[in-house]
């Protein structure tokens, strides 16, 4: 960790309302994509996000590109975290055969809000690093932080974590 890093040592509160909870709005469109933790995962996540948002009315081109960038950064981090999570332990059968270890969830709400959730197998919290101007890596969460209304993470019920971000689509 660098001197400019700020570790998120606990889950961040302020998560968007979940569908079906009292007082929450229901999403008008929901999509899920399961990906293997490969270098190609961000590409496929961007393509899926583009197709998903193409079916949502009233989305501006700028908002769609911003959403694709956020998804790409979160999936890239998830792929790296999941790959690093296998170091030093025997992979499970599903990990050996390359079954999905990253789960992307997109929820578009009627008030032009998009909730992006990316689940990976690593329990390690995301680290927001304030990278130097010349840094070539570790800018992902800086981008997510700058482009989303809010973001955070929660531990996943059966291990790993879910990193989420909310952004306006209009």
Phi, psi of 62 (to 5 degrees): -60, -45
pTM for the whole thing? Answer: 0.77
Q: Is 55 within the bounds of a domain?
A: yes
First to last CA, the chain: 36
pLDDT for 92 equals: 61
| Parent domain of 102 | 28-168
CATH number, position 120: 3.30.565.10
Domain count of the chain?
1
From first to last of its 170 residues, the chain has per-residue pLDDT tens of: 444 445 555 555 444 445 444 455 777 889 999 998 888 999 999 999 999 999 888 888 999 999 999 999 999 999 888 876 555 555 565 555 555 589 999 999 888 899 999 999 888 888 887 777 776 666 788 889 999 999 999 998 888 899 999 999 88
C-alpha closest to that of 114 among 46, 66, 44, 162: 66
Residue 11 placed within a domain:
no
């Amino acid at each position: 960790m660098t001197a400019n890093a700020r570790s998120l040592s606990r889950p961040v509160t302020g998560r968007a309302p979940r569908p079906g909870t009292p007082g929450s709005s229901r999403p008008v469109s929901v999509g899920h994509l399961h990906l293997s933790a490969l270098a190609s995962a961000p590409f496929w996540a961007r393509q899926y996000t583009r197709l998903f948002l193409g079916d949502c009315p009233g989305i501006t081109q700028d908002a769609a590109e911003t959403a694709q960038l956020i998804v790409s950064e979160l999936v890239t981090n998830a792929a790296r975290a999941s790959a690093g999570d296998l170091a030093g332990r025997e992979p499970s059968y599903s990990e050996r055969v390359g079954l999905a270890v990253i789960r992307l969830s997109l929820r578009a709400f009627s008030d032009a809000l998009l909730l992006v959730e990316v689940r990976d197998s690593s329990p390690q919290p995301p680290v927001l690093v304030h990278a130097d101007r010349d840094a070539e890596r570790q800018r992902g969460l800086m981008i997510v932080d700058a482009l989303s209304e809010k973001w955070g993470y929660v531990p996943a019920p059966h291990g790993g974590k879910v990193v989420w971000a909310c952004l306006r689509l209009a």
